[in-house]
């Protein structure tokens, strides 16, 4: 996320196509987290997402069947790009966190893979 500063304050912005590789068709915010909250915990067949932690911090786990990573994002410093067919789990979120997710597609329940077992079977069957 880029920032510009002047006497009026700061402006943070994202050039979606340049940073994400797609124009977002859906944006959503995650906030008001409870203790031990877990968000995501699913994959998408075709939708891509970019996750921005605007305030606070969150631990984000991604797994595409070949590559696994767990990273902590804090206060607007970085973003996580999530390709299709990648399992995403967001946890260990600070109570005050505000997370923005940009998605390449509009909501479509049929695009979700909600079972980890089904996801692993699909990934293992891919050439």
Q: In which residue are the tokens 């944006």 written?
A: 27
Distance between CA atoms of residues 42 and 21, nearest Å: 21
Q: In which residue are the tokens 């994002």 written?
A: 73
Within 13 Å and on the Cβ side, how many CA atoms surround 125? 7
Distance between CA atoms of residues 13 and 23, nearest Å: 14
Give the list of residues 6+ apart from residue 92 with CB closer than 8 angstroms, or none.
58, 59, 72
- Active-site residue set: 42
């Amino acid at each position: 996320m880029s920032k510009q500063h002047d006497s009026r304050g700061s402006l943070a912005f994202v050039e979606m196509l340049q940073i994400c590789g797609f124009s977002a068709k859906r944006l959503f915010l995650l906030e008001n987290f409870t203790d031990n909250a877990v968000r995501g915990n699913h994959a998408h067949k075709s939708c891509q997402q970019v996750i921005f932690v605007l305030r606070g911090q969150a631990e984000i786990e991604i797994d595409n069947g070949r590559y696994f990573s767990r990273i902590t994002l804090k206060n607007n410093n970085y973003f996580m790009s999530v390709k299709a067919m990648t399992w995403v789990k967001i946890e260990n979120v600070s109570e005050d966190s505000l997370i923005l997710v940009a998605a390449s597609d509009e909501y479509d329940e049929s695009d979700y893979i909600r079972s980890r077992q089904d996801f692993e079977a699909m990934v293992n069957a891919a050439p």
